[in-house]
Structure 1
Amino acid sequence: MTTNEQLVIKAIAGNEAAFIELMKMYKIDLYKTGLSFFKNEEEALEAIQEVTYRAYKSIRKIKEPAYFKTWLMRIMINYCQDQLKKKKREVLNEDYIQAQGVSESHSALEIEDVLQSLDSRSRELLTLKYLHGLKIKEIAYAMDCPEGTIKTWLHKALQEMRSKFSEEGEN
């Protein structure tokens, strides 16, 4: 059992110091996620505050301490998506775009347009896999789906992204 898992177990048991330590460990990941959705430092920081509160309120619901980061990122992604739905806009961070391994021959606007045209599940999968570096197993756990399903969805999302780029190249 890792030190992180031990901290999670303590936090689940009500140890506030352990919870604070965990939040400090993942604040950069949370911030990057907030920025990737909002492209705004203030909104990203507000998201961290809200997610910290939500995580604190529901920490006892964690079933697997090893997946704390996945659980926490899921809360952040859900919060960000809810906020964007309210604002009726979706924007992505340049880091996310570069994490997709897309050729640099496309402008940032072209890449953003293609990503915006993908469905929310595809964008979410690509965020978890490439921005946060989660493994297929962790994504499957977070989304409560079989690993094979996640692999299929991820493959389809990447294929769709590539086909949209090749369509743009033909125009």
Structure 2
Amino acid sequence: MNNEDFDLVMRAQKGDDDAFYKLICTYKCELYKIAYSYLNNEQDSLDAIQETTYRAYKNISKLRTPQYFKTWLIRILINYCSDELNQNKKLKLIKHQSNIQNKQYDNSNIEAVELLDSLKPDYKKIILLKYFHDFTLRDIAQIMKKPEGTVKTWLYKALKQLKNILIEEGEDCV
């Protein structure tokens, strides 16, 4: 986190609404991409960002380590998205390219997201954060509140499962 963002977090924790607004604006595109990768729907993703913003605003004074604001915010978003998926039983990710409203993904990414349906939720979460959103393993461990070694193990197992699925389907995976 850069010094400017750290200062904004400190100001937001003291009740500065403008500072909080600037922080949310800084991360809104990243939040949208993550929410969309979970919910596969523009409106649901926007609702998730709205709820995440509300929860973060309400609880920012409880944030103990301001330098982890971003991971804290993403954890709130992921928890909300997971709750929505469980409540609404939206267990299927991207199925038809015509349904895709987020043009950030190309065809190869769409196919990869479709494969994630077969993984455990934690494995899917790690793959999405690592390869679709470029988070480091350390950041993923903080977001998921798991040891970095656990995240590495789960990543290895998830990649192995995906490779086996591709081999079974006759895909060329090197």
The interval holding the TM-score normalised by the smaller chain is 0.7 to 0.9
The match for 1:162 is 163
In the other structure, the counterpart of 2:120 is 119
Counterpart secondary structure, 1:47: helix
Amino acid at match of 2:116: L
Other structure's SS at 1:31 match: helix
TM-score (normalizing by structure 1):
0.83
Distance in 1, matches of 2:110 and 2:127, equals: 19
* Residue 107 of structure 1, CA deviation: 7.9
Matches of 1:69 and 1:107 in 2, distance apart? 26
Q: What is the number of residues matched between the two proteins?
A: 163
1:21-170 superposed matches below 5 A? 21-92=22-93, 104=108, 108=111, 111-169=112-170
> For 1:52-99, what per-residue CA distance to the aligned partner results, in whole angstroms no more than 9, with x for missing partners?
10111111222222221111111111111111111112243578xx69
Question: What whole-Å deviation, never above 9, does each CA across 1:27-74 have from its counterpart, x for those lacking one?
Answer: 111111222122221111111111110111111222222221111111
Which runs of no fewer than 5 residues in structure 1 stay unpaired?
none
Report % sequence identity.
43
The one-letter code sitting in structure 2 at the alignment partner of 1:89 is K
Alpha-carbon distance in 1 for matches of 2:144, 2:110: 32
Cα deviation per residue 1:109-146 (whole Å; 9 max; x = unaligned)? xx444210101001111122222222111112222222
RMSD: 2.5
Q: Is residue 14–residue 61 contact of structure 2 (8 Å, CA) maintained in 1? A: yes
> Which amino acid in 2 is paired with 1:8?
V
Determine the C-alpha separation between the residues in 1 that align with 2:10 and 2:132: 26
Q: 1:17 to 1:113 in 2, by over 3 A?
A: closer
Q: Give 1:13's aligned residue.
A: 14
CA–CA separation in structure 2 for the residues paired with 1:141 and 1:107: 27
1:8, 1:68 within 8 Å by CA — same for their partners in 2?
yes
Does 156-165 or 62-71 show the bigger shift? 62-71
Query: Partner of 1:169: helix, strand, or coil?
Result: coil
